[in-house]
Amino acid sequence: MFDEFGINAGYVEELHSRWQQSPASVDEGWRRFFEGAAPAPTRQGANGTRGSNGGNGQIAAAYREAVRETVHAANDSQTRVAQLVNAYRVRGHLLADLDPLDLTPPGQANLELSSVGLSDADLGTAFSTAGMSGLPDPAPLRDIVAFLRETYCGAIGVEFTHVEETEPREWLQQRMESTRNHASLDRAELLRIVTKLTDAEIFEQFIHKNYVGAKRFSLEGAESMIPLIDLLIEAAGAHGIEELVIGMAHRGRLNVLVNVMGKNVREIFAAFDDKRPERFLGGGDVKYHLGYSSDVVTGAGHAMHLSMAFNPSHLEWVNPVVEGRVRAKIDRRKRKSTMPLLVHGDASFMGQGVVAETLNLELLEGYSTGGTIHLVVNNQIGFTTVPGDSRSTRYCTDIARELRVPVFHVNGEDPEAVIQVTRLAVEYRQRFKQDVVIDMYCYRKYGHNEGDEPRFTQPVMYALIDKKAGVRDAYVARLVAAGHITREEADEIADWRRGTLEAALEDAREGDYQHMPQAMGGVWASYRGGSDAGTPEVPTTFPREALLEASDRLATMPGGFHASPKALKILEARRERAHSGHGLDWGAAEHLAFASILLDGHGIRISGQDARRGTFSHRHAVLFDAHSGEPYTPLAHLEQPGRLVGRFEIYDSPLSEASVMGFEYGYSLDRPDKLVVWEAQFGDFANTAQVILDQFIISAEDKWGRLSGLVLLLPHGFEGQGPEHSSARIERFLQLSAEDNIQVCNLTTPAQLFHALRRQVKRPWRKPLVIFTPKSLLRHHEAVSTLDELASGSFQRVIPDTSVAPEKVRSILLCSGKVFYDLADERKRLMREDVAIVRLEQYYPLSDALDRALAPYAPGTPVVWVQEEPRNMGAWYFVNARRDEIVRGRHPLSLVSRPESASPATGSKAAHDLEQKMLLEAAFAR
Ligand SMILES: Cc1ncc(C[n+]2csc(CCOP(=O)(O)OP(=O)(O)O)c2C)c(N)n1
Ligand SMILES: [Mg+2]
């Protein structure tokens, strides 16, 4: 309500509520101010327009006046106490006891009594504690200060007053103050924490002893993470969560796999022993990148499915993939019972931009997952780099302030405080459907990995760490001293754990426990990867009548909807052309492909920048009412009596490639039944998501045996639009093509797009499909297809040339994509009947379709690969390297292209036109 008072909003609100209860309890200045604002302003939500309302403007002016008066009046101690309380809520975290190494200097909190004009002399005076549950009312200032210190400056420091909405902020405040921010734990829970800490510690020690110097990225110093995740699962189960998807990096991952997810530790030992090289030649991944899933039952009896996402070394890049997976799971079940947990490192959370790009997805309609729990394992170091060199901010979590959600900083050496924030975090997420961040301060017992000497660079830090007792020891000592458990009980837990690991190690050395990740079951059971040739093609035809019906439906608006006349004209033209047998353009064929897929019962999800209209205004999947601005999506309103129609979703994404491509990739991992599409604005921008391409889309099957049917639509083509609006970097995708890992296409007709998209869902082969999509061809009068070509055609990997008599042909131009139309025009202009033009529509995997297309021509007829791209880009290096597959020794192969270049294209349209002319001349020179 008092948002415009910024950091003082809580304070003003507090005064206001006191004034409401008893006008005499606030000083005269404030009283006048609140009376002047009558009727009292209504509460504003997060989206309220600040300062736009006259009432609030008056409040602001009155506030300034009131502040002046407060300063001068100088005798309202109760007001000062309220200021102090507010200051603790806002800045108490700056004094909290967070750092187990005591290396972090306290912040300037200004919480001294003198900062609000109070003094020690006031400590015995009783003040009202209205609004502070957890204290008698009134209470002496001494008690109030002790209460505030305990709540806000103990082992937990909370940043929460920036939460804009009143309800969650007050809820959290009440929860923390009523408990002084302490978890109440019974003996069973204390024992569970000890057990989990013991599991964590003994596991690391056991590997340390048995695999000296082997990389494991020890959790030691941060062992509280294990009871944290263990109790998070408990809390999540109690709140109705049925599934947790975890994304995390190297640190402590093996520990989580074994001690939280129940992975068979024999498999981990076998991976350390690494005695099966023959199973992993050229493939597989290191043991701390592998994913896993398991089913557990919580202490309270709730069944919970746990998934740990496979992830690469590239820190933080798994985040959007996890979010996409969770969204897919939520969509599948139509219930919001899946929760993402992302575990971060302190250095990577602040350093990697994909973190901010992923946080930004959280409240968006197309990407929300109902809130993510973020856990930062803040060991106060990244490899050898200390926080002072890692970030410009105090907290490694400050990037999360973009979301205005609570951030709990907690001392990882206090497991009970860790449990308290975990419970608060889960409950907050469940209630308010937003992200929550836990920043667990800890330390790293060894170097970055176990072979690394940290004392080269952090001698002082490690002198402190060397003196540390260990998180478990310190906690056990505390519980023993408090009489909660005996030393013998604690030892027994450790002995038992050691014993089970000894036995498992013996088993591991006798048995066969090192394998590639298992093939996928469940929703993946009916799909396959592997080689292209191993999965037959399927028909992609669709009944003509049904396409006509769909095109009628797509051009029909609901009653009372006032579509833009221009958009309506486009839809109407599509409909007419379908009926009259005229050529359909790209947008029309794409729409009919989508419609046919939906009518076949498959869902479709598309996202990308401006995807709803389409960057080039060719799609118009969503129309907007001219009066209300309300959207209408014809594809979401297809009907089919007696048969299920798939769900159609299309979203304009935020201006991020990395997080959105990662999200859609993640989505495709859990929805193999759907057509999942990510579209680039221009293909040139896809490289900002290069990590998602290299580390996930391209290599996931080889490393992890994980499949995806994601479609990438990458506008590509040299049309004089400059270096960054021309190339989707075909060369890169082709260099990354191996072992039939992806499909790479450059299509020249709308019918080809229709069949390629249908093939992608109908064929059980799940491989990412990269389509270089056109720009000028979207409106090219020749780049059209008839309804019959859609209804009864099929996808052609190569389009042979049927327009010339093979025996006359003296030169074969082999090309792909848009340049075909330029070449065809030129041939017509030159009336060259001795030149054939063959189109390679699918670069990869190559097939014998090419052989068939070249077969009619006499052996020895030269084949010229013609591309618009510079020599070092486009497909030439790929074509040249695979010449044996392409011309099979029957034809000489040469190149016509732009000369090699460091930048894809010229910035001058005129230079582009000249280049293009020279290219065509060269192509027809022989
Ligand atoms: C994107 C990326 N850049 C660099 C690295 C190399 N690297 C591996 S771990 C690490 C330090 C990570 O520090 P932090 O995030 O604090 O995690 P910690 O190891 O301390 O748990 C670095 C720089 C990487 N794995 N990924
Ligand atoms: Mg770190």
Residue 565 CB partners (closer than 8 Å, separation 6+): none
The single-letter code of the amino acid at 109 is A
Measured from the Cα of 251, ligand 1's closest atom is 21
Would you tell me how many other CB atoms lie within 10 Å of the CB of residue 466?
A: 9
**DSSP tag of 37:** T
Task: Calculate how far, in angstroms, residue 417's C-alpha sits from the geometric centre of ligand 1.
Answer: 27
Please tell me the chain's helix, strand, coil percentages from 3-state DSSP, rounded to the nearest 5.
Answer: 45, 15, 40
833: number of CA atoms within 13 Å, CB side? 5
Q: What's the pLDDT score for residue 610? A: 98
Question: How far apart are the C-alpha atoms of 573 and 571, rounded to whole Å?
Answer: 5
Mutate to test the pocket of ligand 1, among 348, 349, 380, 695 (most ligand atoms within 8 A of CB): 348
Q: Is the bond leading into 138 cis (omega within 30 degrees of zero)?
A: yes
**pLDDT at residue number 520:** 76
70 lines ligand 1 (CB under 6 A): no
pLDDT given for residue 213 in this prediction: 87
878 CA to centre of ligand 2 in angstroms:
41
Rounded to the nearest angstrom, the distance between the alpha carbon of 311 and the centre of ligand 1 is 13
Phi, psi of 606 (to 5 degrees): -125, 135
Q: Burial level of 525, CB count in 10 A (0-12/13-18/19+)?
A: exposed
Specify the ligand 1 atom closest to the Cα of 313.
25
Pocket test for ligand 1, best of 218, 346, 357, 383 (most atoms within 8 A of CB): 383
Ligand 1 neighbourhood includes 346 CB (under 6 angstroms): yes
Ligand with the closest atom to the CA of 250: 1
Which residues neighbour 549 within 8 Å (Cβ) at sequence distance 6 or greater? none
379 lines ligand 1 (CB under 6 A): yes
Task: Report pLDDT for 683.
Answer: 98
Q: How far is the centre of ligand 2, averaged over its atoms, from the C-alpha of 291 (Å)?
A: 21
Please tell me the distance between residue 379's alpha carbon and the centre of ligand 2 in angstroms. 5
Centroid of ligand 1 to alpha carbon of 550 (angstroms): 52
- As a whole number of angstroms, the distance between CA 245 and CA 232 comes to 12
| Ligand 1 atom at shortest distance from the alpha carbon of 444 | 20
Is 624 touching ligand 1 by the criterion CB < 6 Å?
no
Q: What is the mean pLDDT of residues 581-586?
A: 96
Mean pLDDT for the stretch of residues 555-560: 96
Per-residue confidence band for 13, with pLDDT thresholds at 50, 70 and 90: confident
Q: What's the confidence (pLDDT) of residue 515? A: 86
Provide the β-strand partners of residue 713: 679, 771
Check pocket membership of 894 for ligand 1, CB cut-off 6 A: no
- CA-345 nearest atom, ligand 1: 15
- Identify which of 872, 768, 761, 865 has the alpha carbon closest to the alpha carbon of residue 817: 865
Answer yes or no: are the C-beta atoms of 251 and 190 closer than 8 Å: no
Give the mean pLDDT of 242-270. Answer: 96
681-689: average pLDDT:
98
The confidence score (pLDDT) of residue 28 equals 75
Closest residue to atom 24 of ligand 1, CA basis: 314
d(CA 557, CA 840): 39
For the CA of 312, the nearest ligand: 1
Q: Which ligand is nearest to the CA of 384?
A: 1
Q: Ligand 1, atom 22: nearest CA belongs to which residue?
A: 383
Distance from Cα 161 to the centre of ligand 2, integer Å: 27
Q: Residue 381: CB within 6 Å of ligand 1?
A: yes
Q: What is the pLDDT of residue 7?
A: 57
What pLDDT digit, counting tens, does each position of 649-665 carry?
999 999 999 999 999 99
Q: How confident is the model at residue 687 (pLDDT cuts 50, 70, 90)?
A: very high
Q: What is the mean pLDDT of residues 87-106?
A: 96
Determine whether the shortest distance from the Cβ of 313 to ligand 1 is under 6 A.
yes
Strand partners for 366:
none
Residue 21 is predicted with a pLDDT of: 74
- Name which of 566, 584, 679, 700 is nearest 623 in CA terms: 566
* Burial of residue 370 (number of CB atoms within 10 Å: 0-12, 13-18, 19+): buried
* Distance from Cα 351 to the centre of ligand 1, integer Å: 9
Instruction: List b or e across 78-114, with b for residues whose CB sees 16 or more CB atoms inside 10 angstroms.
Output: bbbbbbbbbbbbbbbbbbbbbbbbeeeeeeebebebe
Ligand nearest to the CA of 217: 1
Confidence of residue 602 (pLDDT cuts 50, 70, 90): very high
Pocket flag, ligand 1, residue 816 (CB < 6 Å): no
Q: Give yes or no for residue 348 CB within 6 A of ligand 1.
A: yes
Strand bridging mode 675-679 / 711-715? parallel
Determine if the peptide bond prior to 39 is cis (ω within 30°): yes
CB half-sphere exposure, 312, CA atoms < 13 A = 18
Q: Are 876 and 897 in contact (CB under 8 A)?
A: yes
- The Cβ of residue 122 has, within 10 Å, a number of other Cβ atoms equal to 17
Tell me the pLDDT band of 312, cut-offs 50, 70 and 90: very high
- Residue located via tokens 């992806």: 742
Mean pLDDT of the chain: 93
- Nearest residue to 774 via CA among 752, 758, 793: 752
Residue with CA nearest ligand 1 atom 15:
345
Ligand 1 pocket test, pick from 315, 396, 461 with the greatest ligand atom count within 8 Å of Cβ, gives 315
111 lines ligand 1 (CB under 6 A): no
pLDDT at 74 over 50: no
Question: What integer is the mean pLDDT of 292-319?
Answer: 96
Euclidean distance between the first and final Cα of the chain, in Å?
78
Q: How far away, in angstroms, is 165 Cα from ligand 1 center? A: 35
- Ligand closest to the CA atom of residue 344: 1
Say if strands 407-411 and 436-441 run parallel, antiparallel, or are unpaired. parallel
Render pLDDT for 127-181 as a digit per residue (tens, 0 to 9): 999 989 889 999 999 999 999 999 999 999 999 999 999 999 999 999 999 999 9
Q: Cα(737) to centroid of ligand 1, in Å?
A: 28
User: What is the tens place of the pLDDT at every residue in 768-783?
Assistant: 999 999 999 999 999 9
488, pLDDT greater than 80: yes
Phi-psi map region of 408: left, alpha, beta (phi>0 left; psi -120 to 50 alpha): beta
**Other C-beta atoms lying within 10 Å of the C-beta of residue 897:** 22
- Residue 371 beta carbon below 6 angstroms from any ligand 1 atom: no
User: How many whole angstroms separate alpha carbon 710 and alpha carbon 322?
Assistant: 15
- DSSP symbol at 855: T
Summarize the confidence of residues 334-339 as an average pLDDT.
84
Say if CB 690 and CB 724 are below 8 A apart.
no
Taking the C-alpha atoms of residue 690 and residue 289, their distance in angstroms, rounded to an integer, is 19
Using the predicted structure, report yes or no on whether residue 46 has a pLDDT greater than 50: no
User: Strands across the sheet with 893-898, in order?
Assistant: 798-799, 835-840, 811-815, 863-870, 893-898
| DSSP labels, 679-699 | E-SSGGGGGGGHHIIIIIITT
Strand partners, 863: 812, 893
Which residue's alpha carbon is at the smallest distance from atom 17 of ligand 1?
345
Q: For residue 220, which phi and psi values (nearest 5 degrees)?
A: -55, 135
Q: What is the pLDDT of residues 717-745, one digit of tens each?
A: 999 999 999 999 999 999 999 999 999 99
Determine whether 125 is exposed, middle or buried from the number of CB atoms within 10 Å of its CB (0-12, 13-18, 19+): middle
Whether 383 lines ligand 1, by a CB cut-off of 6 Å, is: yes
One DSSP character per residue, 530-579 reads S-STTS--------HHHHHHHHHHHTPPPTT----HHHHHHHHHHHHHHH
Ligand 1 touching residue 440 (CB < 6 A): no
> 181 and 153 in contact (C-beta within 8 Å)?
no
Residue nearest to atom 9 of ligand 1 (CA): 383
Length of the chain: 926
Ligand 2 centroid to Cα of residue 376, in Å, is 9
Cα 686 to middle of ligand 1, angstroms: 24
Arithmetic mean of pLDDT, 660-680:
98
CA-CA distance, 631 to 262, in Å (whole number)?
A: 47
Asked if 343 and 247 touch (Cβ cutoff 8 Å), the reply is yes
Distance CA 714, CA 730 (A): 10
Residues around ion ligand 2, judged by CB within 5 A, are: 345-347, 379, 382
Question: Which ligand 1 atom sits nearest the alpha carbon of residue 383?
Answer: 11
- Locate the ligand 1 atom nearest the alpha carbon of residue 378 and give its number: 16
Average pLDDT over residues 674-680: 98
Token pair, residue 276, equals 């099966």
Calculate how far, in angstroms, residue 193's C-alpha sits from the geometric centre of ligand 1: 28
DSSP string for residues in 71-116: HHH---HHHHHHHHHHHHHHHGGGGS---TT--SPPP----SGGGG
Look at residue 582 and tell me whether its pLDDT is greater than 50.
yes
Cβ(686)–Cβ(728) under 8 Å? yes
CB atoms within 10 A of CB 828: 10
The CB of 416 under 6 Å from ligand 1? The reply is no
Reported as a pLDDT band with limits 50, 70 and 90, residue 16 is confident
Strand 156-159, strand 303-308: pairing: unpaired
As a whole number, mean pLDDT of residues 639-649 equals 96
* 858 CA distance to ligand 1 middle (Å): 58
CA–centroid distance for 905 within its chain: 32
Give yes or no for residue 377 CB within 6 A of ligand 1. yes
What pLDDT, on a 0 to 100 scale, did the predictor assign at position 54?
38
Residue 443 has pLDDT above 50, yes or no: yes
Beta carbon of 312 within 6 Å of any ligand 1 atom? no
Of 329-333, 427-431, 810-814, 910-914, the poorest mean pLDDT is in 329-333
- Say yes or no: CB of residue 347 within 6 Å of ligand 1: yes
Mean pLDDT of 790-801: 97
Cα separation, 50 vs 747, in Å, equals 50
What's the gap in Å between 483 CA and the centre of ligand 1? 41
The contacts of residue 463 (CB under 8 Å, 6+ apart) are none
Q: Quote the pLDDT of residue 65.
A: 52
Helix (H) or strand (E) holding 745: strand 743-746
Q: Please state the φ and ψ torsions of residue 416, each to the nearest 5 degrees.
A: -70, -35
- Give the pLDDT score at 70: 41
CA distance 160 to 325: 29
Which is it for strands 743-746 and 711-715: parallel, antiparallel or unpaired?
Answer: unpaired
Task: Quote the pLDDT of residue 10.
Answer: 64
Give the closest residue (by CA) to ligand 1 atom 26.
Answer: 314
Rounded to whole angstroms, the Cα distance separating 583 from 574 reads: 9
| 444 C-alpha to ligand 2 centroid (Å) | 8
Percent of the chain with pLDDT over 90: 87
Q: Is 353 in the pocket of ligand 1 (CB under 6 A)?
A: no
